[in-house]
Amino acid sequence: MSGSESSPLAWAAIDFLCCLLLVVYTLIAPPRQPASIETLGEYAVEVSWPASRNDDIDTYVQDPAGNVVSFTNHDVGLMHLDHDDLGQSSDREQYGTKVTVVRRNEERVVLRGVIPGEVTVNVHAYRKATAGPCPVDVRLYRLRGQDRMLLERSLTLTHTDEEATAFRFTLDARGALRGHNTLSRHLVGVPGGPP
Per residue in 70-80, pLDDT tens? 999 989 999 99
Q: Which domain holds residue 57?
A: 43-181
Strand partners, 85: none
Mean pLDDT, range 32-55, rounded to an integer: 77
Task: Indicate whether 157 pLDDT > 60.
Answer: yes
Give residue 86's identity as a one-letter amino acid code.
L
Mean pLDDT, range 157-165, rounded to an integer: 96
Q: Is 68 among the domain residues?
A: yes
15: how many CB neighbours lie within 10 A of its CB?
Answer: 10
pLDDT at 146: 78
pLDDT at 35: 42
Mean pLDDT, range 44-55, rounded to an integer: 91
Give residue 92's identity as a one-letter amino acid code.
R
The least confident of 7-21, 29-43, 88-102 is: 88-102
Q: Is 177 among the domain residues?
A: yes
Q: Is 12 among the domain residues?
A: no
What CATH number should be reported for the domain holding residue 71?
2.60.60
Q: Is 189 among the domain residues?
A: no
96: Cβ contacts below 8 Å, ≥ 6 apart: none
Residue 92 C-alpha from the chain's centroid:
19
Q: Hey, is 186 helix, strand or coil?
A: coil
Per residue in 61-115, pLDDT tens? 999 999 999 999 989 999 999 877 656 555 555 556 665 555 678 999 999 999 9
Task: Indicate whether 5 pLDDT > 70.
Answer: no
pLDDT at 7: 76
Strand partners, 186: none
Long-range contacts of 86-90 (CB under 8 A, 24+ apart): 86/56, 87/53, 87/54, 87/55, 87/56, 87/57, 87/127, 87/129, 87/130, 88/51, 88/53, 88/54, 89/54, 89/56
Q: Is 21 among the domain residues?
A: no
pLDDT at 99: 52
Write out the DSSP string of 63-82: -TTS-EEBTTBSEETTEEE-
Average pLDDT for the chain: 82
Q: Is 4 among the domain residues?
A: no
The burial class, CB within 10 Å (0-12 / 13-18 / 19+), for 121 is: buried
Mean pLDDT, range 128-155, rounded to an integer: 93
State pTM to two decimals.
Answer: 0.72
Q: Is 147 among the domain residues?
A: yes
Q: Which of the given ranges, 17-26, 46-55, 149-158, has the highest pLDDT on average? A: 149-158
Residue 94 C-alpha from the chain's centroid:
21
Q: Is 8 among the domain residues?
A: no
Number of domains in the chain: 1
Strand partners, 48: 106, 137
The least confident of 30-34, 82-86, 131-135 is: 30-34
